[in-house]
Chain A
Amino acid sequence: MSSIFEGQLVRLAVPDFERDTEIMVAWSRDSEYMRLSGSEPARMWWPAAEKNWLKEYMDEAYLFGIYRREDDRLIGTLDLEVDNWAVRNAWLGIGIGDRSCWGQGYGSEAMRLLLHYGFEELHLDRVTLNVFEYNTRGVHVYEKLGFKVEGRYPKWLLREGKRWDLIFMGITRSEWEQVCAESGSSF
């Protein structure tokens, strides 16, 4: 049975909290990952807190684990949080916690699967995300997927004694359809 949540490299699934919480906790010990993931001071999580947070967040968002198909290992998470059904906008968040998987195409494919779900199943009209200026790999991936820069908060983030921009990006339904038409696929 084919699933819209399965790609060549990864599949998206509800995280298996019993099996995978320790893996997610381990990611929080990686300060580089934490500094890519959020603007709060980097800190470490512990299993019960991680599990509770994820379960609570699932009330608000469409949260998925990114599982690598070759070994069914959890390598990251991503989510869509619809903030306004009148304009059908959702905020997208993604983190590849397993740094051995960075730059391998797993995140791009996971995002394509999630965008397909968002536009084709949730009937979204646009998807929005934030990225920090120093996450150049992320900006590159999002642009390749069709996201457009909609502006930036200049020097918004203060880290390592330096200020960095907070970049706002968005993709509309018509832009998504254009990307699909150009790539000759539904996603």
Chain B
Amino acid sequence: MIETPLFEGKRVRICEIDPEKTTAEEARWTVDLDVASYYRPNAPRPLAAFEIQKFYEGRKKDIESMQVLYFLLRRKADDQLIGFFRVRGIQISHRTAWFDLVIAEPEGQAEAEEEALRLALRYLFLEMNLDYVTMRLSETRFGMEERLKAAGFSLDVRQRGMVYRRGRTWDLLHYGLRRRSWMQKQGLEVEE
């Protein structure tokens, strides 16, 4: 038996998307343009609930065929929706993918990000069996960058001036983590 829960942490749990019910809450997050850019990368703006629904509808085929894996994140204490975890760019033949992890609710953000990242990596490496994963993020997301470094990620790509925010351009950072390094850090046996 495998008894370690894949979707449950101490404070955070990974849950299903539910465009019928959660779009209003997700729309509320998009006043933060860093969050909005994950729904509308080109010229982000605050979005209405129906636009979030359209976002999911536009990706329905990819979600159903598991070309992408979309999850939401909830705080366990009060079941509040706090963010999302998405796996994209899945390349089964190369065992690679990239993922997004955003905690949009400011309360307890740092702790939630840390735990959600732990859950996400367990899912990516122990459930999807990926060999190498990356997270792409604007260098404006200082906190997440620190958490990635602490989790063992290395800065593999820095694309100059790929993000425009607050009156200037910023670099787009690609942080990568190899399964072997992660397994070693977790004290898990590394298969050859």
Contact = CB atoms under 8 A, between A and B. Distances in A.
A125 interface: yes
A119 to B, nearest CB: 14
B157 A126 contact: no
Interface in B149-178: 155-164, 169, 174, 176, 178
Nearest to A130: B157
A126 B161 contact: yes
Contacts, number: 72
Interface residues of B, number: 25
The B interface is mostly helix, strand or loop, or mixed, namely: strand
Nearest to A150: B159
Given A155-B132, A158-B94, A128 B41 contact: no
Interface in B64-111: 91, 93-96
B169 A87 contact: yes
Nearest to A158: B94
B171 to A, nearest CB: 9
A153 B169 contact: no
Interface stretch (A46-54, A78-86, A137-145): A78-86
Given A39-B94, A87-B169, A157-B94, A150 B42 contact: no
A112 interface: no
The A interface is mostly helix, strand or loop, or mixed, namely: strand
Given A154-B176, A156-B132, A168-B174, A41 B156 contact: no
B1 interface: no
Contacts of A150: 157-160
B174 to A, nearest CB: 6
25 contacts: A39-B94, A41-B93, A83-B41, A83-B42, A84-B41, A85-B43, A87-B169, A89-B161, A89-B162, A126-B161, A128-B159, A150-B157, A151-B156, A152-B156, A153-B96, A153-B134, A153-B157, A153-B174, A154-B156, A154-B178, A155-B131, A155-B178, A158-B93, A168-B159, A172-B160
